Amino acid sequence: MQIKFFFGVLCILFLASCSSSRKVTTKRNKKTVAVENKSKLPSVKQIQHIRKLEKGNKSLNKHTLQYIRKYAPLAVLEMYKYDIPASITLAQGILESGNGRSQLASKSNNHFGIKCHVGWKGQKVYHDDDEKGECFRKYKLVETSYKDHSEFLNGRRRYANLFKLRKSDYKGWAKGLKKAGYATDKKYPKKIIKIIETYNLYEFDKFTKKDLKREKRENPKKRNTKPKKSIPEYYQVKKGDTLYSIARKFKTTVALIKEVNGLKNNSLSIGQRLLVK
């Protein structure tokens, strides 16, 4: 009887220890999920900016305009935190990601072509660039890519001289990026400067924290309105999908989906990502 009682006590203690360890694991998982929360971005009058551009030149790239509308607030917020001109961040994002439509950007959320480099502990993806099968960083969110771009420039000595320049000196920044080795393309500074001047991105460099606070007050959130059902910005094609079925699902048209995604015909492939908003 004593032996049975002894073994019974051991079993109870063992089960108790197992249950406590499971609770600790659950807490850790919750913390990990919270890190990648997507935050709502404030307005930096990017819609007005685009309308003004379209009035002056209707031949501007519509995909570039869409990119500016979507990511200008993010570039301005990064400018506050890291002192990198918003125009430079936006122009690099536009150029490096092909307006967010490149394979690296659409599948890995890498908008700045940042390679793995020594010490990178995040997710990786392999892509052909200067050499075949080069290692690039992969992110869960585009916001994380923007933040990593800022930290990448801010945390390396070779870019230190850039932060001595004024935020309004986008030409100095563009030339300095090439000189510091950000890109191998000899025309990289000219391409960045052309994007900035074509789309007047230097206007976002003038946006101050006070302007941002005032913009928040001018656009208060409506509390009593019913929340609209959110439509995902991208849709991943599944087996059996057609452009017609996808268009019906997201209450749009086949012609619009083809135009936005640059499709020449109606053929789709499983796993393909389509912009539906």
161 and 61, same domain (yes or no): yes
Q: Which residues contact 177 (CB under 8 A, 6 or more apart)?
A: 88, 92, 159, 162, 183, 188, 189, 192
129 and 239, same domain (yes or no): no
By CB neighbour count within 10 A (0-12 exposed, 13-18 middle, 19+ buried), where does 220 fall?
exposed
136 and 270, same domain (yes or no): no
pLDDT value of position 23: 36
What average pLDDT does range 199-209 have in this prediction? Answer: 92
Q: What is the mean pLDDT of the chain?
A: 81
Over the stretch 218-275, which tens digit does the pLDDT of each residue have? Answer: 555 544 555 555 545 678 888 888 888 888 888 888 888 888 888 888 888 888 888 8
150 and 266, same domain (yes or no): no
What average pLDDT does range 185-203 have in this prediction? Answer: 97
- 226 occurs within a structural domain: no
User: How many folded domains does the chain comprise?
Assistant: 2
Is residue 188 within 8 Å of 177, Cβ to Cβ?
yes
The pLDDT of residue 15 is above 50: no
67 and 197, same domain (yes or no): yes
- 109 occurs within a structural domain: yes
Q: Could you tell me the residue range of the domain that residue 264 belongs to?
A: 234-275
The confidence band for 213, taking pLDDT boundaries of 50, 70 and 90, is low
> When comparing pLDDT for 56 and 198, which is higher?
198
CATH at residue 51:
1.10.530.10
- 31 occurs within a structural domain: no
CATH at residue 265:
3.10.350.10
What average pLDDT does range 172-193 have in this prediction? Answer: 96
What average pLDDT does range 31-41 have in this prediction? Answer: 44
Beta strands in 162-263 (DSSP E): 234-236
Tell me the angle at which helices 62-82 and 86-97 cross, rounded to the nearest 10 degrees.
140
- 10 occurs within a structural domain: no
pLDDT value of position 37: 43
Of 92, 100, 275, whose CA–CA distance to 195 is shortest?
Answer: 92
pLDDT value of position 142: 95
pLDDT value of position 264: 84
- Give the Cα separation of 178 and 176 in Å (integer): 5
- Give the Cα separation of 200 and 163 in Å (integer): 22
- Give the Cα separation of 233 and 100 in Å (integer): 12
Name the 3-class secondary structure at 165.
coil
164 and 256, same domain (yes or no): no
The confidence band for 14, taking pLDDT boundaries of 50, 70 and 90, is very low
The pLDDT of residue 111 is above 60: yes
The confidence band for 85, taking pLDDT boundaries of 50, 70 and 90, is very high
Amino acid at 154: N
